Amino acid sequence: MMNPIAACIQMDIKFGDPEYNFSHAEEKIAEACEKGEKPDFLLLPELWTTGYDLARLDETADQEGIQAQAFISRLSQQYGVNIIAGSIAKKSQDGITNTLYAVNAAGETVHEYSKLHLFRLMDEHHYLTGGNENGLFEIDGLKSAGLICYDIRFPEWVRYHALNGAEVLFVAAEWPEPRLDHWRTLLLARAIENQCFVVACNRSGNDPKNAFAGHSMIIDPWGKVLAEGDSKEGIVQAELDLSKVSEARNRIPVFEDRLPEYYEK
């Protein structure tokens, strides 16, 4: 796949109402696939089934992620598109995790990643269990990584994925509006320093405690913004010229010039 098209489903999320959110996500996925040029990859935002209604996750979390995976599998096959299914609250015997699924166009889950860094400012640590695996996966030949919101504040975690082959970072988020400048700056930095594409999907709208920033972004390995949303719902879409990854890494050989033996002294 030379120049795949990636699209972010920037959607509002109804607080603690999975039934509505599944229906709304299906409408937005249909919109992305049926209007204009169909994308090869779709990305949903963080916690798109429940929003940040953390206190009721015991009731609303998806048992073993079964409902979300079946839903995404059906739609990926229906539209012939790879779906990076943002993240959902997954309930298992080990607790509730904030879990991202990567599902290919045949409807197969190729990877799941549970958010490593829990965001204490929004009380995640009181309700969620952190993951313990990385976000690396290959889907439709594309070497990728999944990251979730707060993860982008940890450059060493993002660099781990780039060092292990990721050419595209898929970032799912519910990033609050007051820190919009941080969102944009951090995403640009992660793209430039890792010389890779960043496809970042943030939600829009409000919940009882927060207003969310939107501004989903697709950024190339040179830090050029290829597409950016506003604060409202919408589809943010761009073509990824994958040759830009090797171009950037060859022109400025950051990875070759690393001196990791000095970094943890």
Strand partners, 136: 145
User: Rounded to whole angstroms, how far apart are CA atoms 67 and 61?
Assistant: 10
At 86, list the tokens.
Answer: 């943002």
Strand partners, 62: 90
Catalytic residue (one of 149, 196, 201, 244): 149
What DSSP designation does 241 have? Answer: -
28 is catalytic: no
**Could you count the other beta carbons within 10 Å of the beta carbon of residue 265?**
4
What is the sign of the dihedral through the CA atoms of 13, 16, 20 and 21?
A: positive
Burial of 23 (0-12, 13-18, 19+ CB in 10 A): exposed
115 is catalytic: yes
* Helix (H/G/I), strand (E/B), else coil: 20: helix
Catalytic residue (one of 90, 91, 115, 244): 115
**Could you count the other beta carbons within 10 Å of the beta carbon of residue 141?**
8
Task: Give the contacts of 141 (CB within 8 A, at least 6 positions apart).
Answer: 1
What DSSP designation does 38 have? Answer: P
156 is catalytic: no
Catalytic residue (one of 46, 112, 124, 174): 46
At 256, list the tokens.
Answer: 């070759």
The answer to whether residues 221 and 245 touch, using CB atoms and an 8 Å cutoff, is yes
The residues annotated with a catalytic role in the active site are 46, 115, 149
